[in-house]
Amino acid sequence: MLLPTLRLTAEGRSIKEIRKRLREQFQITPAEAKRIHGKSGKNIFINLVAWAFAYLVMGQLIEPKGKNAYRITKRGTLVLNGNPSELTISELHQNG
């Protein structure tokens, strides 16, 4: 979910639009998108997307741009310019 989130952020998409596109890309059904974690009581899909944003921020590929918005950083642009086929958490911390 990291690479698609980074690409959509680079396009200037809102968080709401990014969630919508990720649901489509990963073929998340409406029922799956509404699932709640038993212990935390939080929406599982929204939480996964939030973690993707958090990891991208920690890896300095995106940065906050006000409330509920992000923008790609120079480092994020460099990563995308390398045309990666995937992006892992460990890669976020390389050369960071």
Spatial separation of the C-alpha atoms in residues 38 and 69, rounded to whole Å:
28
pTM over 0.95, yes/no: no
Is residue 22 within 8 Å of 33, Cβ to Cβ? no
Domains of the chain: 2-92 (1.10.10)
Distances (CA, A) of 37 to 23, 27, 84: 18, 19, 32
pLDDT by position in tens, the chain (length 96): 999 999 999 999 999 999 999 999 999 999 999 999 998 899 999 999 999 999 999 999 999 998 888 999 999 999 999 999 999 998 887 755
Spatial separation of the C-alpha atoms in residues 35 and 45, rounded to whole Å:
7
Helices H / strands E in the chain, number of each: 6, 2
Tell me what pLDDT residue 92 has.
83
Cβ-in-10-Å burial (0-12, 13-18, 19+) of 51 comes to: middle
